[in-house]
Amino acid sequence: MGVDDRKSKKILEIEDLQTYYGRSHIIQGLSMHIDRLEAVSILGRNGVGKTTTLRSIMGLTPARSGAIRIDGQDTTRWPPHRVVRCGIGYVPAERHIFPGLSVEENLKLAEKPKVQGDVWNMEKVYSHFPVLKIRGKQDGSTLSGGEQQMLAIGRALMGNPLLMLLDEPSQGLAPLLVYEVIQPILLVCVEEGLTLLLVEQNYRMALKVASRHYLMGIKGKISGTATSAELMADGDIIKQHLSV
């Protein structure tokens, strides 16, 4: 067995995912995959099922059928805490900062050292988001929207994940913050070899951060995949899949 065979090439593999909220059949047969070290985005209009897809990966809204494999392990029926433990960092759109805990405590709680190699720790998070250090003792839930987004990303990184899922990290933020703070840290993550799945309506950022994109239509149906270069060369594809 070669060295590379020991680890699965595919960090995430989804096969014919079917997810419901009660009787509403929301995701109707989604298949996709992310290779190790890839940064991939899901682009799609409001309500097509992007968040639901991430929730199914996390085990928050479990799939009714189909299969989800993370690093070769079948996690389809796993509860969220187990999915997190197998190396998934999740930055939900609502950020979910723990109220009553300081910024520092929010970060400390998520701390999980990587077995080897570079490690995301408090110091490294603060070096990318100096405002979090300044506000270290402040209750995390009283931060501004932009600061909470930085804290949510910093907290996911403290877990030193194998794969980080981000649900519209640019939502509700001023363009300056998106392009000078959020986009740069995601680019650092990609350069350092963190595998990313990014859900975005801000396609400009998605095209910069991710190199391959799944185009999602209604009911989670994937109509195709395209590279950033392909999307940049053909603006119509973006128009068909996003409200721009």
**Site for ligand ATP, rule CB under 6 A:** 21, 24, 26, 44, 46-52
243 binds, among Mg ion, ligand ATP, none (CB under 5 to 8 A by kind): none
CB of 48 to Mg ion, least distance (A): 9
89 binds, among Mg ion, ligand ATP, none (CB under 5 to 8 A by kind): none
Residue 52 found at the interface with Mg ion (CB under 5 A): no
Of the pair 44, 140, the CB lying nearest Mg ion is at 44
Q: Which of 41, 51, 56, 106 binds Mg ion (CB under 5 A)?
A: 51
Of the pair 22, 117, the CB lying nearest ligand ATP is at 22
Of the pair 51, 228, the CB lying nearest Mg ion is at 51
CB of 202 to ligand ATP, least distance (A): 11
19 binds, among ligand ATP, Mg ion, none (CB under 5 to 8 A by kind): none
Three-state SS letters, the chain: CCHHHHCCCEEEEEEEEEEEECCEEEEEEEEEEEECCCEEEEECCCCCCHHHHHHHHHCCCCCCEEEEEECCEECCCCCHHHHHHCCEEEECCCCCCCCCCEHHHHHHHCCCCCCCCCCCCHHHHHHHCHHHHHCCCCEHHHCCHHHHHHHHHHHHHHCCCCEEEEECCCCCCCHHHHHHHHHHHHHHHHHCCCEEEEEECCHHHHHHHCCEEEEEEHHHEEEEEEEHHHHHHCHHHHHHHCCC
Of the pair 51, 56, the CB lying nearest Mg ion is at 51
- Applying CB under 5 A, the residues found at the interface with Mg ion are 50-51
